[in-house]
Amino acid sequence: MIVGKREAWTGRVFLVLLMAFTIVPFISLFVTALHPSGSYPSGLEWPSEPRWGNFADAFRAAHMGDLLWSSTLIVLGVVPVSLVLATMAGFALGHLRMAGRHLVFLMFVLGLTLPFEGIITPLYYLVRDMGLLNTRWAIILPLIGLFMPFAVYWMRAHFINLPDDLSEAAQLDGANVWQLFWRVHVPLAAPAISSLAILLFLWTWNQFLLAIVLVDDPAKRTMAGALGAFQGQWGTDIPLLCAGSLLILAPTLIVFLIFQRRFVSALLQGSVKG
């Protein structure tokens, strides 16, 4: 289709404006991070002597090494287990279609719109009574449960579109359901599973509410929770806070830029799917 010149130019202008609107806040954050620690710089103002050392200070003050390790452990605790559980359940609901599947599915759907704040109070007492408060398990276990509605929904949508002939053929070869699942269906579901993995990684890494309620020690929290603690402690020192925020942002940004294609399509599908 031929695009009108004028139309193309307005399009470009809008795009650039949209990008500027997105990026400028980060630039402001960056420039502010270079001002002397403890000062109140104004808006976008390049400092006379950029203090690159602020990043090193923030790295130390935020215990970035510990935080990265902690978030990684939490992600490793949440994501693989969630994927396995959700894939199995999605397989059962979408492909095995056992009796009573509508009720089960409906129970999961019930959780799709649940705001986490709705159950944070009982979760606190539940986790406390399990003796898990202030451990990473306090974030990991509830998150697995909380991710189930979406994850099962997502995997069911994959399996329900799968033709049955496939399984029928494999079954004739004498494979039992367990083998069938792992040898045939999981490999076939790889794209759906990997997109789900990306989404779950992101939501775990950025989880805030559970982290601040269930874990006091920032070194055992998720990145977002740790950033909350960093603000709670250093919020009064604007340049240091900006430097720390950028450092804490960096890992997700880097992962995002590396896997950006998958990310964008996963996020878009994540919204539309279902």
Partner 1 sequence: MTSPSTGPKPGPGPAGAPGRGRRPGLRPGAPAGLRTRWWVGWAFAAPALAAYAVFVLWPMVLTAQYSLYQWNGIGPSTWVGLDNYGRVFTDPELLDTILNAIRLIVFFSVIPVLLGLAIAATIRRIAASRLAVVARTVVFVPQVIPLVAAGITWSWLLSSDGLVNQLLSAIGLGGVTRAWLGDLSTALPAVGVIGAWVQLGLCTLLLLAGMSRIDPALYEAARLDGAGPLREFFSVTVPSLRQEIGVCVTVTVISALASFDIIYISTQGGPGNSTMVPGLEIFYQAFSDREIGVASALAVVLMALVLLCVLPVQRLTRERP
Partner 2 sequence: MTRSISRREAALGFLAIAGTLAVGCGGPGGGGSRPSGTSPSPSAAPTIGTEPVTLKAYFETGFPLARALTDEFTRQFPNVTWDIREDQFAVITQNAPRVLADDPPDLMRLPQVSELVGDGLLLNLDGYAEVFGWSDWPPSQLEQLRVGEGGRPRGEGSLYAMGLNFSMTGVFYNRTLAERIGMAAPPATLAEFDDLLASAKAAGIVPIVQFNGGATGGFAFPLQNLMAAYGAAGPINDWIFQKPGVTIDTPSNLAAVRHLQEWIEAGYFDADANAMEYAQMMSTFMAGDALLMFNGDWESGNLDGEMPGEVGFFLMPPAEEGGPVATMSAPLTYGISANAAHPDEAAFFLDWAATDERAREIVVEVGGSHPMGLPDAHMPDVAEDSVTGQTLAAGARIAEDDGAMDFIANATGSVYAKGWTPQLQRLFAGDQDPDGLLAAVQSEYEIEAGS
**Read out DSSP for 11-73?**
HHHHHHHHHHHHHHHHHHHHHHHTSPTT----SS---SS--THHHHHHHHHTTHHHHHHHHHH
Backbone φ and ψ for 100, nearest 5 degrees, come out as 85, 5
Among 72, 161, 179, 194, binds partner 1 (CB under 8 A): 161
Among 104, 133, 175, 184, binds partner 1 (CB under 8 A): 104
**Residue 103 C-beta: closest distance to partner 2, Å:** 5
Cα–Cα distance list, 54 to 25, 92, 128 (Å): 19, 53, 38
| Closer CB to partner 2, 22 or 236, in the complex | 236
Residues 220-249 that bind partner 1 (CB under 8 A): 223-224, 227-228, 231, 238, 241-242, 245, 248-249
**Residue 272 C-beta: closest distance to partner 2, Å:** 21
Contact (Cβ atoms closer than 8 angstroms) between residue 161 and residue 185 = no
Q: Does 45 bind partner 2 (CB under 8 A)?
A: no
Q: Does 133 bind partner 2 (CB under 8 A)?
A: yes
Please return the burial class of 184, using the count of CB atoms within 10 Å of its CB with bins 0-12, 13-18 and 19+.
middle
| Cα atoms found within 13 Å of the Cα of residue 257, Cβ hemisphere only | 5
Among 111, 133, 134, 188, binds partner 1 (CB under 8 A): 111
Question: How many Cβ atoms are within 10 Å of 71's Cβ, its own excluded?
Answer: 28
Q: Which does 234 bind (CB under 5 to 8 A by kind): partner 1, partner 2, none?
A: partner 2
Q: Does 218 bind partner 1 (CB under 8 A)?
A: no
Among 65, 191, 235, 274, binds partner 2 (CB under 8 A): 235
Contact (Cβ atoms closer than 8 angstroms) between residue 174 and residue 190 = no
Q: Which does 254 bind (CB under 5 to 8 A by kind): partner 1, partner 2, none?
A: none
Q: Does 139 bind partner 1 (CB under 8 A)?
A: no
Report CA dihedral (186, 189, 195, 199) to the nearest 10 degrees.
-50
| Closer CB to partner 2, 235 or 274, in the complex | 235
Residues 36-55 that bind partner 1 (CB under 8 A): 40-44
Element spanning 237, H or E: none
* Interaction site with partner 2 (CB under 8 A): 38-40, 102-103, 106-107, 110, 125, 128, 133-134, 216-217, 229, 232-237
